Amino acid sequence: MNKRQEMNASSPVNSVSDRATVQQPLGLDVEVVGEHERENLEIFFAEAEERRANDVVLNCQDNLDFLREQPKEKFKLIVTSPPYNIGKSYEVQSSLDDYLANQRQVIGECIRVLHPKGSICWQVGNYTDNGEIIPLDCLLFPIFREFGLKLRNRIIWHFGHGLHCRNRLSGRYETINWWTKRNDYTWHLDPIRVPSKYPGKRHFKGPRKGELSGNPKGKNPSDVWEFPNVKSNHPEKTVHPCQFPVELVERLVLSLTDENDDVFDPYVGVGSSVVAAIKHKRNGYGCDVVEEYIAIARERVDAFYAGTLKTRPMGKPVYDPTLPNGGH
């Protein structure tokens, strides 16, 4: 039976009347008029219920406490952006040595709870000290390696907005360091392919002459990613000063996990990783020490299930002021 047939077999709506109240899973009763509207709503809510089949855990808790409560090898993907120890509102700045010692502890616990075929994606930028920049991934690289992890890609995330520097070039990228435990890790390229530059291009000589030279499903997105960072005019902007764009995490979720896998963000902020996970029928787990962020994360999850959460769609071109309408 398909969804529509199931709905007809066990409709929650009083079928005697045209005007009915649909009992729906989001805790609201919606008054509807007419058969067509009612059927559409039923399907919408059934789909919302189906999406809710995934677990969401959002705790206001220190990540080491959270991690120690988790069973080993649970998470297929651990994706996060830790504080950079640069004095943001949500962090207590410490010496670089103390910062790295804490990162080592958190990374060690993450590896314990990482599935054997799982991935860790640690997204970082620079720690700055009196005008000197110290790329955090260079300092974290030996820690991950000592734990036996293998680096699969150091993805450059390029974005258009940030501080304008006077005495050096303005920083417009950070990195996502993708580590795996083993060589047989979960990996899917097709769901994250991007349009080829020349989709109709064909081999012009050799045994495959005349055949399409590229993959008709699109090309590998490479290890340089361009996504707008979440600044004030971004549809996902909340009060958090450094949110992940959901589309960035979606690319990792789609390529590094399967449906119903567990995705965890130990510095979840306002829940962007959890939103990306549940958008694609994965379970989303996260913790953050700031109550306000966790409250917003929960609101965003509810808004997603209610169909009202705005996220920048995957594949939308980056605004280009040289093109008509910015290329949109």
CB 296 within 8 A of CB 271: yes
Stretch of residues binding ligand SAM (CB under 6 A), selected from 44-52, 139-147, 167-175, 262-270:
262-270
Phi-psi region of 73 (alpha: psi -120 to 50; beta: other; left: phi over 0): left
Stretch of residues binding ligand SAM (CB under 6 A), selected from 12-20, 30-38, 154-162, 239-247:
239-247
Query: What is the distance between the alpha carbons of residues 218 and 195, in angstroms, rounded to a whole number?
Result: 5
Question: Using the rule CB under 6 A, is 177 a contact of ligand SAM?
Answer: no
- C-alpha closest to that of 139 among 129, 262, 214, 242: 129
- Tokens 């990228």 correspond to 173
- Tokens 């939103």 correspond to 275
Which CB atom, from 22 or from 256, has the smaller least distance to ligand SAM? 256
Question: Using the rule CB under 6 A, is 267 a contact of ligand SAM?
Answer: yes
Question: Using the rule CB under 6 A, is 287 a contact of ligand SAM?
Answer: yes
Supply φ then ψ for residue 77, to 5 degrees: -135, 130
Which CB atom, from 118 or from 269, has the smaller least distance to ligand SAM? 269
Query: What is the distance between the alpha carbons of residues 83 and 74, in angstroms, rounded to a whole number?
Result: 24
Question: Using the rule CB under 6 A, is 81 a contact of ligand SAM?
Answer: yes
Stretch of residues binding ligand SAM (CB under 6 A), selected from 135-143, 180-188, 242-250, 319-327:
242-250
What binding mask, one character per residue, do residues 32-71 give for ligand SAM by CB under 6 A, x or -?
A: ------------------------------xx--------
Question: Using the rule CB under 6 A, is 272 a contact of ligand SAM?
Answer: yes
What token pair was written down for 1?
A: 């039976």
Query: What is the distance between the alpha carbons of residues 240 and 292, in angstroms, rounded to a whole number?
Result: 9
- C-alpha closest to that of 125 among 146, 155, 153: 155
What H or E segment, with its residue span, contains residue 151?
strand 150-158
- Among positions 32, 77, 176, 270, the unique one binding ligand SAM when judged by CB under 6 A: 270
- Among positions 157, 227, 244, 285, the unique one binding ligand SAM when judged by CB under 6 A: 244
Give residue 100's identity as a one-letter amino acid code.
Answer: L
Which CB atom, from 261 or from 288, has the smaller least distance to ligand SAM? 288
Question: Using the rule CB under 6 A, is 83 a contact of ligand SAM?
Answer: yes
Binding site for ligand SAM (CB under 6 A): 62-63, 81, 83, 90-91, 240, 242-244, 267, 269-270, 272, 287-290, 293
